Structure 1
Amino acid sequence: MRLSTGRRTVRRNRTGILAILFLTLALAVGCTSETAGSGSGSGGGGDAPPKAKLVAQPAADATDVLPTDPVTITVTEGTIDAVTLTNDEGKAVKGAVAADKLSWTNAETLGFGKKYSYTASATGSDGKKVELKGAFTTLKPAKTPRATINPGDNATVGVAMPISIKFPEGKVVDKATVEKALKVETSVPVEGSWAWLHDQQVDWRPKVYWPAGTKVTVTAKLYGVNYGGGAFGKADLSTKFTIGRNQVVKVNTPDHKMNVYRDGKLFASYPSSNGKDADPNLNTPNGTMIVMQKDPIGDFSNPRYGYTNVKKKWAVRISNHGEFIHENEENRANIGKANTSHGCVNLLEADAKAYFDSAIIGDPVEVTGSQANMPATSDVYDWLIPWAQWQKMSALK
């Protein structure tokens, strides 16, 4: 009986322990439900993570970022409150939050070889705030060669004037990438094309002469463009210019005269003496050149042919091969009768002055009838190249 009583005592003790454990668990469960109900946590006992997520491009710690690449901060499940982007000197970079407040983009171009830091904040759809911080560095090129553009701003030029972009400080390796950064806009439709004359020059010209009065805008977004060979564009270029009246000079050398046409009609005709017919080295060579330069007095000294300190009036350069249209009263006896010059078009002084006053840079000068052709060695030989060949000289063809 003592044994039996002991068993009952053990059972009662076990029952009491179980009751205490059950009560403890019940109290614990009742406390967690109340906290969750108050919105202070989740069933796991911790705060719910914010819903909003900020993402930066370039990513934090990115290197060799192109300064022309956009910097963007975007958010999901929320809206952007503020973004600050600063350079390594602490200066803020301009930028703006989009109207929908889902993104921020810089509105100012970055510099080469600089470190930029960003801080962004946003509010999630759950009302919770989030923040993002980071930094990146931009590319530091081996070299940033400059470029030039011609014609310059506000110029009025002739109907044969090409657009020329030169790279005097180095060769362009990736011509296609550079050419994609170039744009020509015209006030009237004009068919034309870029052509690489060599590794340091690309020109644009129309298929036929420009229409008179055309307004032209050229933009070359070269800053940050990869030229290849470790070189990147130093700066953007642009120009706006106007095509003047249509004036074309035509010289058929055996005729001993120079005709000037305006809008296709004969405007003036001047007797001339052209390059010596018998010597191809002294011909006024065939081809279409352009007016490149005008000087009231030109120096025509040429020791190779035995004359020095020779000055002539009203000099209009049409090539860098040595050809000009100018006054030569010393050759008056042959003007209009015989070709006796060393390649220039000689005019009487009054006629030379009249033509000089009518000419503008970019006017075409068409020469025919000679034994020799103009070599493609002058600074401007664009019109010596047939159109079909010119188009093939584009890097994008």
Structure 2
Amino acid sequence: MYERRKVFKIALAAGGAVGLVACSGEEVSGSGAPDAQPPKAEITAEPAVDAAEVSVTAPVTVTVAEGSFTEVTLTNSEGGEVRGELNAEKNTWTSAESLGYGQTYTYAAKATGTDGKPVEFTGSFGTLQPAAVIRATLNPIDNAEVGVGMPISVKFDAAVSDRAAAQRALTVETSKEVEGSWAWLSDRQVDWRPREYWPANTEVNVTAKLYGVHYGGGNYGKADVTTKFTIGRNQVVKIHTPDHVMRVYRDGAEHASYPCSNGKDADPNLNTPNGTVIVMTREPTSIFDNERYGYTDVKKKWCCRISNHGEYIHENEENRANIGKKNTSHGCVNLFEKDAKAYFDSALIGDPVEVTGAKADFPTTSAVMDWLLDWETWKSKSAL
């Protein structure tokens, strides 16, 4: 809490005796000068001089009553000046940038009162010192073009205990009207997704004003982060595993279809699970290892990861005999090489992949499980 404000004025000292007025109305002179009046101007500041643990984001103001400023500076511990602006009346100076953690700031102000007398003001205050500062990152990155299922993800380097405080610092602006909500998937990650898939060609601006936000336990945000990205065309993959066909839809109409072999039907552990996931990565080549099932260092082409549970859409010419006929993979969607290349070239990170017909469901332990939750469950994970 700030201390009481201290008001600094320069008072002119009165010297000698004060003149007296006799009963007759005649002035009786003393030996000194006439009484000097103090200046009218008064300078105050917020935060007050000697305040401690001051917020680094609240604006600093220096104000003069009955006068106007001729000079105002606020300097940090290293002597660097803090940017600020005077109002049109030149009676209020307001800082125009955030302060630093654990710094001492010093005021120096001069003003002239309405009586023409000068006044000066000096003093200092200290800003809060966090127990720790926590970095945050935003995804998608700047200028990315992503699919209509892409969530916005804020990830923190350490646990956030005051989730509401962090969430209040997050804003999403869209060029088209979109209903959406934040949901905390862990104490280090909060995602925003629309209720339905994004409208195609939506422009999205995300601002995370996290610098100075108290996450609890004396931990504070390290820096503000922002991103601007674009939603691309509407493309959705639909796979009904018993059909052995992967269908690609554009704007709701079938755009392409490819014969496929999915996860083994008889073993739920090897199914291509039910649920809506997204394309997480596009990898021209990938190495697959699963010692449990007897293979390591298997190289495949045109790979689109759809979960971190192990599922991909990829080329598998070694399984050519079963593609389009039988489900024999260990959970991936196997395509002929030419089809895998065609799909790979058409895909964007964030394209939805909807799987039905399997015995097992996608686990919600995947890194991107946003679309595996219904809307009411998703909203219930908001901290606000």
TM-score, with structure 1 as normaliser:
0.89
In the TM superposition, 1:16-55 aligns within 5 A as 30-31=27-28, 41=34, 46-55=35-44
Q: Does 1:331 align with 2:312?
A: no
Determine which of 211, 214, 239 is the counterpart of 1:251: 239
Distance 1:154 1:79 in 2: 47
| Partner residue, 1:69 | 58
| Partner residue, 1:187 | 175
Amino acid at match of 1:181: A
| Partner residue, 2:6 | none
- Gap runs ≥5 in structure 2: 1-20
Q: Does 1:235 align with 2:223?
A: yes
Q: CA deviation at 1:78?
A: 2.0
| Partner residue, 2:184 | 196
Distance 2:77 2:314 in 1: 59
Q: CA deviation at 1:92?
A: 1.4
- 2:22–2:28: 8 Å Cα contact kept in structure 1? no
Q: CA deviation at 1:126?
A: 2.1
Determine which of 370, 379, 383 is the counterpart of 1:391: 379
| Partner residue, 2:17 | none
Query: Would you say how many aligned residue pairs link Structure 1 and Structure 2?
Result: 363
- 1:301–1:311: 8 Å Cα contact kept in structure 2? no
| Partner residue, 2:84 | 95
Q: Deviations over 1:161-194 (max 9, x none)?
A: 00000012x1001111111111111111111111
| Partner residue, 1:213 | 201
Q: CA deviation at 1:102?
A: 2.2
| Partner residue, 2:289 | 301
Q: CA deviation at 1:65?
A: 0.7
User: Secondary structure of the residue that 1:300 maps to in structure 2?
Assistant: strand
Distance 2:77 2:136 in 1: 28
Q: Deviations over 1:257-298 (max 9, x none)?
A: 000001111000001111111110000000000000111111
Determine which of 305, 309, 333 is the counterpart of 1:321: 309
| Partner residue, 1:280 | 268
Distance 1:27 1:311 in 2: 116
| Partner residue, 1:113 | 102
More helix by share: 1
User: Secondary structure of the residue that 1:96 maps to in structure 2?
Assistant: strand
Q: Does 1:144 align with 2:127?
A: no
Q: Deviations over 1:142-169 (max 9, x none)?
A: 100211110001100000000000012x
- 1:325–1:345: 8 Å Cα contact kept in structure 2? yes
| Partner residue, 1:5 | none
Amino acid at match of 2:249: Y
Q: CA deviation at 1:220?
A: 0.5
Determine which of 332, 337, 342 is the counterpart of 1:349: 337
User: Secondary structure of the residue that 1:351 maps to in structure 2?
Assistant: helix
Q: CA deviation at 1:125?
A: 2.1
Identify if the C-alpha distance between structure 1 residues 384 and 25 changes in structure 2 by more than 3 Å, giving closer, same or farther: same
Amino acid at match of 1:160: G
- 2:112–2:118: 8 Å Cα contact kept in structure 1? yes
Determine which of 124, 131, 135 is the counterpart of 1:135: 124
Q: Does 1:312 align with 2:309?
A: no
Indicate the structure (1 or 2) with the bigger Cα radius of gyration: 1
Amino acid at match of 1:365: V
Distance 1:280 1:29 in 2: 114
User: Secondary structure of the residue that 2:255 maps to in structure 1?
Assistant: strand
User: Secondary structure of the residue that 2:289 maps to in structure 1?
Assistant: coil
Amino acid at match of 1:60: V
Q: Deviations over 1:300-332 (max 9, x none)?
A: 121111111211111110000000001111111
| Partner residue, 2:370 | 382
Distance 2:321 2:28 in 1: 122
Mean Cα displacement is larger for which, 287-296 or 74-83? 74-83
- 1:286–1:369: 8 Å Cα contact kept in structure 2? yes
More strand by share: 2
Determine which of 159, 162, 166 is the counterpart of 1:174: 162
| Partner residue, 2:16 | none
Q: Percent identity?
A: 65
Identify if the C-alpha distance between structure 1 residues 346 and 81 changes in structure 2 by more than 3 Å, giving closer, same or farther: same
Distance 1:258 1:25 in 2: 111
Amino acid at match of 1:328: N
Give RMSD over aligned pairs: 1.7
Distance 2:226 2:321 in 1: 49
Q: Deviations over 1:194-231 (max 9, x none)?
A: 11001000001111111111111111011111011111
User: Secondary structure of the residue that 2:94 maps to in structure 1?
Assistant: strand
